Structure 1
């Protein structure tokens, strides 16, 4: 029943069904007729001089007058809304509105008759759609699982420059025996190559609030110009996540995420990554654009994206969140005792010196278009930053240290509308490595490394849907050598520039350029000639389905 019908019938019914029995002599029909005749029909609520917008029933009365035309006023232009309503006045008002409803119903019947043919066609189409939907439901892959995927093609190359010699100062060694490092790098990683990356996500929900994610991944970047054999040069985004080797499909993610009450979310997985278990990712700069250096919110030590067996929990309340998680990259191994010659190679388990483990805690605050987060990560057993996200010296410090304590502070802001002002993402990280009391790697004890970045992104550039961006920063580099007897001179600056053409909703083409000023850092023996640098570019095409 319509709302206005309920409003009208309620007082009328209460009055007509009252326990007071009305006799024929008490029901003055002439009085009802005189009441009805004394009223004048109105077409706008403004015709009532005694009805103000501040009245609590103003909107309801306005609807009855202007939409249904079944409310009349007194000859003096008043409605007299505060006057008590008698039973016969309620009956007269109800009768007038019900007559109007009958008119509307008849009008609808005439319209249905006039468009009878068109309505029949529409009904046939709806029936056909229902049949197709039923067929799809009967043959669908799963009632609880959604399949999505992304395929990426990359065509590009690297170019290397500088006069750095392999052995440092070349005064005592002939040039034929001491080639420039750029020549070796160009020979090993200077070819134009065409590579791919494929990801298939199977997302399953059993309750509508939980998530079981299975990701299949394959690619062939291991020997490409962007993930090749020279340590320190495999810096692009797609060069490190091929779980089963080149051109082999492997399980890249397998974890289950579910709510605990209204504020907590738990995650557990046999193959889960650190960032899968964080309530907030403190960056809006695209993580899959060009250099992997700019993927870690400026702090590759704190946000090292360790991947393996793990579990985590996060809590949210309003704009605040707190996250904690643990990941063991070698959590699937059964032997935890290091080998005398191979160390922890092929060893692991959970919670031991060969686990390659990380424990992370994050606190974050997010607003409508901004966010800030602080994170702390303890890593040990060989866990650390991915190769390419630090200089060789910094990578060695992570890999060789008994433990590393890392902190990161990251933030972002984005404008409400597209324009000349870009979104801004920035972050800074600090890491302190310790080697313990004994071992072959005491030289890393007390080494401090740092990193930072600033990423800018413009949306709807030139054409709606297109985007452009650039980032600058330093991959993890040594700033303090601790107990070592040499000075730190390990810096390496990185830049990237890109423009994304959104060809369709599912296809984009992104040309990109990047530059690394000193990818080998301190390992290139600064002071012996003019150093070593890396310039590269590629064309990336992304298909989402």
Structure 2
């Protein structure tokens, strides 16, 4: 044993033996122990200053080597981890259900979706957002779709990517994959919108009418929320900026969105105006301009809505409506109207939700695009939180009345979904 280690250990051993010696003095002779220690010390090498320094230097060198090894292992671990300013969250969702009267399939289907959200800040006030999604649901192959459903053909896709930063009192977002509502503070409806309405018809029958939820592309958005509750935003999105048609060109598809609203303690109002120079891309999930007989359709939409929270915050009523005006050179295009009413009420450990919706869609006759009614339909569902990260939703959606002009919405959907957040 090295001399330096002996010097350290000897007092420890003596400290440990002293209490034992007090209690067992009739068995252990303390004087003999002291003589033994002294004799062992005499057998040790002489402890001069040079020897002491050498021994201490060796021990500290060993300690430093161990510390360097631990630090190397730590650096190796951190090399494969996120930076300290990056956070990840996400959700996995399952959907099981069927649609009676569907023109796609009336069979029971089981689908999934998987979403990842990555947020990174570089200054503490900015944020780089990247959304990654996949799934095996979605139109046109699956008719039973919920708000949690997602397409992707089992392939991970980057669905959103933009950088957000403050500019004075405003927030600015710019990126190659920016949704027109990513930075929008305006709220038309507080309806939970988790069931069949939000998942069917490419989102056109969702609570918010305005024709922007399906619009993604390269663009920029700016928004501000005032201290008195008012808010406003504006955005320019180029849906064809990622291909040869380009951004802000005659051949490209661009959309311009303006919004304004107010959010009080128990109620809120919102207004959204949207202009699209080509509506063919947003409706491609459930219709094509070619099938309507047009090369392209320019359109503008105006939407208004509001909500009221009462009953000590347990009940929320939401009402929204909108109109879409299309324009095709040499053709007559009628306006499309929609209206939505929804209610959410806390019941037991969950939330009971119900909604009624009326909706129009285009039907072409010659060079005229008629606003054909899809009919009125309703839904009722219940969402139950098993805990903070697990939610179960089940319900039914059905057509109201007999729509003889079109059978697309004359159907009944029923099923359930489960979402796991992490």
1:40-189 pair list within 5 angstroms? 139=78, 141-160=82-101, 185=103, 188-189=104-105
1:193-272 pair list within 5 angstroms? 193-222=109-138, 227-229=139-141, 236-238=146-148, 241-242=150-151, 245-261=152-168, 263-272=169-178
Aligned residue in 2 for 1:16:
none
1:509-524 pair list within 5 angstroms? 509-517=392-400, 522-523=405-406
Q: 2:309 aligns with which of 400, 405, 414?
A: 414
C-alpha separation between the residues in 1 aligned to 2:109 and 2:129? 32
Question: What is the deviation of 1:283?
Answer: 2.1
Answering whether residue 277 of structure 2 is matched by residue 371 of structure 1, we say no
Question: Does the 8 Å CA contact 1:393/1:521 hold for their aligned counterparts?
Answer: no
Aligned residue in 2 for 1:425:
318
Answering whether residue 353 of structure 2 is matched by residue 469 of structure 1, we say yes
Question: What is the deviation of 1:321?
Answer: 1.6
C-alpha separation between the residues in 2 aligned to 1:418 and 1:435? 46
Deviations 1:358-395 (A, max 9, x none): 11011111112221111111112234654678xx6999
Q: 2:341 aligns with which of 454, 465, 475?
A: 454
1:456-535 pair list within 5 angstroms? 456-459=343-346, 461-463=347-349, 466-477=350-361, 484=368, 489-517=372-400, 522-523=405-406, 533-535=410-412
RMSD across aligned positions (CA): 3.5
C-alpha separation between the residues in 2 aligned to 1:236 and 1:508? 14
Question: Does the 8 Å CA contact 2:209/2:320 hold for their aligned counterparts?
Answer: yes
Answering whether residue 313 of structure 2 is matched by residue 313 of structure 1, we say no
Question: Does the 8 Å CA contact 2:301/2:323 hold for their aligned counterparts?
Answer: yes
Answering whether residue 182 of structure 2 is matched by residue 276 of structure 1, we say yes
C-alpha separation between the residues in 1 aligned to 2:192 and 2:205? 8
Structure 2, unpaired ranges of 5+: 1-73
Q: Secondary structure at the match of 1:252?
A: strand
Question: Does the 8 Å CA contact 1:156/1:537 hold for their aligned counterparts?
Answer: yes
C-alpha separation between the residues in 1 aligned to 2:240 and 2:216? 9
Aligned residue in 1 for 2:61:
none
Q: 1:328 aligns with which of 238, 246, 252?
A: 238
C-alpha separation between the residues in 1 aligned to 2:214 and 2:385? 28
State the TM-score, normalized to the length of structure 1. 0.57
Question: Does the 8 Å CA contact 2:266/2:308 hold for their aligned counterparts?
Answer: yes
C-alpha separation between the residues in 2 aligned to 1:412 and 1:520? 30
Q: Based on CA coordinates, which of the two structures has the bigger radius of gyration? A: 1
Deviations 1:429-461 (A, max 9, x none): 111111124xxxx3xx332111110111112x1
Question: Does the 8 Å CA contact 2:140/2:285 hold for their aligned counterparts?
Answer: no
Change (3 A) 1:509 1:453: same
Change (3 A) 1:532 1:307: closer
C-alpha separation between the residues in 2 aligned to 1:536 and 1:259? 44
Question: Does the 8 Å CA contact 1:156/1:536 hold for their aligned counterparts?
Answer: yes
Change (3 A) 1:383 1:351: farther
Q: Secondary structure at the match of 1:312?
A: strand
Question: What is the deviation of 1:467?
Answer: 1.1
Matched pairs, number:
343
C-alpha separation between the residues in 2 aligned to 1:436 and 1:423? 43
Structure with the bigger percentage of strand: 2
C-alpha separation between the residues in 2 aligned to 1:398 and 1:523? 18
State the TM-score, normalized to the length of structure 2. 0.72
Question: Does the 8 Å CA contact 2:205/2:357 hold for their aligned counterparts?
Answer: no
Aligned residue in 1 for 2:249:
352
Question: What is the deviation of 1:307?
Answer: 1.1
Deviations 1:146-180 (A, max 9, x none): 100100001111111xxxxxxxxxxxxxxxxxxxx
